[in-house]
Amino acid sequence: MFNPFATAFQIDARKWVAMLLGCMVAITALADPPAHAPAHGWRKKHDPNYVGYTGRQWSRDYGVVEGTCNRKAIGTVLGAAVGGAIGSRVGEGTTRTVAIIVGGVLGAVIGREIGRDMDESDRGCFGHGLELVQDGHDLRWRNDSTGVSYVLTPLAGTKGGGAACRDFRLKSSLNGKSSVKQGKACRSGEGVWSMQP
């Protein structure tokens, strides 16, 4: 038998449940992301800087914080800078927008083949990884020109007193063959990391 009061009550109950769920979603959306989750758009609205290993703030992370370096974006920033002169040509102080790794011993530390195949974008990914990646976390990127894939894992280091230094592990892969090297780099300037022998 049709009961108009029961039907009206069911409709009101559905509206009430929908309204309650809507309020719960709105409250959840206002919460900050948990510490273990990436911030994504939240960071841009609330904290536009990425804090580096030594406390330096960076306006861009080029995907490094999430574990994948955007070589193309870093290459655009570095532009026509070449070799060891890159540190002086990118900019200094607050104008520098990407950390870099320099130093003539790159090939000696991580191997001549790998060191020779790294271009400026690879060095930018490497340096920015040393700046922003947490100890033990991986940073991945691939150089489409050489075909070499890299996985950088910054490890614990030393801060304070002298230069800030970090140990690292770098795995490079090409055509099914891979090589893993360990080394140490120290911050020798504003966003400039130098390889240590």
Tell me, yes or no, whether 130 lies in a domain: yes
What's the confidence (pLDDT) of residue 150? 94
C-alpha–C-alpha distance, residues 140 and 142, integer Å? 7
Q: Tell the residue number behind the tokens 């970090």, with chain if given.
A: 166
Tell me, yes or no, whether 175 lies in a domain: yes
- pLDDT at residue 31 tops 70: no
Tell me, yes or no, whether 9 lies in a domain: no
C-alpha–C-alpha distance, residues 115 and 186, integer Å? 17
For residue 41, name the pLDDT band (cuts at 50, 70, 90).
Answer: low
Range of the domain at 168: 45-196
Domain count, the chain: 1
Tell me, yes or no, whether 149 lies in a domain: yes
What's the confidence (pLDDT) of residue 132? 93
Tell me, yes or no, whether 146 lies in a domain: yes
| Span 177-195, pLDDT tens digits | 888 988 899 988 778 888 8
Q: Are 132 and 53 in contact (CB under 8 A)?
A: yes
| Span 86-133, pLDDT tens digits | 444 444 444 457 888 876 656 666 666 666 678 889 989 999 999 999
Average the pLDDT over 159-188 and give the result: 87
Of 78 and 160, the structure prediction assigns the larger pLDDT to 78
Tell me, yes or no, whether 31 lies in a domain: no
Q: Which residues make Cβ contacts (< 8 Å) with residue 178, sequence separation at least 6? A: 171, 172
Across 11-15, 70-74, 85-89, the highest mean pLDDT is recorded for 70-74
What's the confidence (pLDDT) of residue 63? 94
C-alpha–C-alpha distance, residues 122 and 130, integer Å? 12
Tell me, yes or no, whether 98 lies in a domain: yes
Tell me, yes or no, whether 29 lies in a domain: no
Average the pLDDT over 16-25 and give the result: 60
